[in-house]
């Protein structure tokens, strides 16, 4: 039986979208792109019904995270219609990934190339094996980013650093990626990456998911808003959280000198 190019699963409220084409360096052919987009939509549904509270994006094996689009499928199709299709499927999928209210984590198990680096920028948190590298190779094949990666990279590390990386197409080690703020944690290669990520998420999931969703909304919205509008949004979200059951529980726990028990009043954010 043919294996699925994208495997989506949920375990203890943590979902995983795994690119499963190791023989092709986890490059995304058309089928994989469609399945990736479908998995993101399913994650939205699962979060809405309360079965999903965090999502991991990763690749199969220890060699490659994602090698971008599958160039073998593009030979003979170097026309605008193909470019639009490639841009539409994954561009929309990654935009939808950024709209997911729960935390999303890129578990970078190996080297990322081109569009694989763009996927990384669409996640909230990024954990990377210390032997992996990031290859922003778009310029070396005569292209720009196509899945929203430039705008997100600029927001993550600043215009000057993003320009230098994209214009040269040079390789970033995990150490440099961590130093410039692109990844949050280097994971030693002798440790199991997903085990480390899940341990971190286990702590994250003990916190109020409603407040996390509001903070995520505030952080992403604030970057493009005038300061006064950002203040107004913060005030609105703060007032919404104030009477929420999780805040009430936190106050009660403080008074009663015990640990709070969150996330019992709602099924999703």
Q: Give the range among 48-57, 70-79, 113-122 with minimum mean pLDDT.
A: 70-79
Q: Is-contact 79 40, C-beta < 8 A?
A: no
Domain boundaries, the chain: 6-204, 209-256
Q: Which residue has the tokens 């070396």?
A: 140
C-alpha of 215 from chain center: 16
pLDDT band at 256 (very low <50, low <70, confident <90, very high): very high
Instruction: Find out if CATH 3.90.226.10 is the number for domain 6-204.
Output: yes
Q: Is-contact 54 110, C-beta < 8 A?
A: no
- Topology adopted by domain 209-256: Lyase 2-enoyl-coa Hydratase; Chain  A, domain 2 (1.10.12)
- Residue 29 to residues 23, 67, 149, 209, Cα–Cα distance (Å): 12, 10, 19, 34
Residue 254, strand partner residues = none
Average pLDDT value for residue range 11-20:
97
pLDDT at 268 over 70: no
Which H helix or E strand runs over 238? helix 227-241
| DSSP assigned state of 111 | B
Cα–Cα distance for residue pair 153/215, rounded to 1 Å: 20
The pLDDT, as a whole number, for residue 216 is 95
DSSP, residue by residue, 46-62: HHHTTS-SEEEEEESSS
Q: What is the mean pLDDT of the chain?
A: 93
What pLDDT digit, counting tens, does each position of 108-158 carry? 999 999 999 999 999 999 999 999 999 999 999 999 999 999 999 999 999
Average pLDDT value for residue range 203-215:
94
């Amino acid at each position: 039986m043919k294996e699925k190019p994208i495997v989506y699963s949920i375990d203890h409220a943590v979902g995983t979208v795994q690119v499963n084409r190791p023989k092709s360096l986890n490059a995304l052919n058309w089928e994989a792109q469609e399945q990736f987009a479908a998995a993101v939509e399913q994650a939205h549904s699962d979060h809405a019904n309360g079965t999903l509270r965090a999502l991991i994006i990763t690749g199969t094996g220890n060699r490659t995270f994602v090698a971008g689009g599958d160039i073998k499928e593009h030979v003979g199709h170097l026309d605008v219609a193909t470019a639009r299709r490639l841009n539409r499927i994954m561009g929309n999928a990654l935009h939808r990934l950024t709209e997911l209210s729960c935390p999303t984590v890129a578990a970078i198990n190996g080297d990322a190339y081109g569009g694989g680096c763009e996927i990384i920028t669409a996640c909230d948190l990024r954990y990377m094996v210390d032997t992996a590298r990031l290859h922003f190779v778009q310029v070396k094949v005569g292209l720009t980013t196509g899945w929203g990666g430039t705008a997100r990279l600029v927001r993550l590390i600043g215009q000057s650093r993003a320009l230098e990386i994209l214009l040269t197409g040079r390789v970033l080690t995990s150490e440099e990626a961590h130093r410039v703020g692109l990844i949050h944690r280097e994971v030693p290669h002798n440790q199991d990456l997903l085990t480390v990520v899940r341990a971190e998420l286990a702590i994250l999931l003990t916190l109020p998911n409603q407040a996390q969703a509001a903070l995520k909304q505030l952080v992403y919205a604030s970057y493009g808003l005038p300061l006064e509008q950002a203040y107004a949004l913060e005030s609105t979200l703060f007032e919404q959280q104030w009477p929420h059951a999780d805040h009430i529980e936190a106050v009660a726990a403080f008074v009663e000198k015990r640990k709070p028990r969150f996330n019992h009043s709602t099924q999703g954010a």
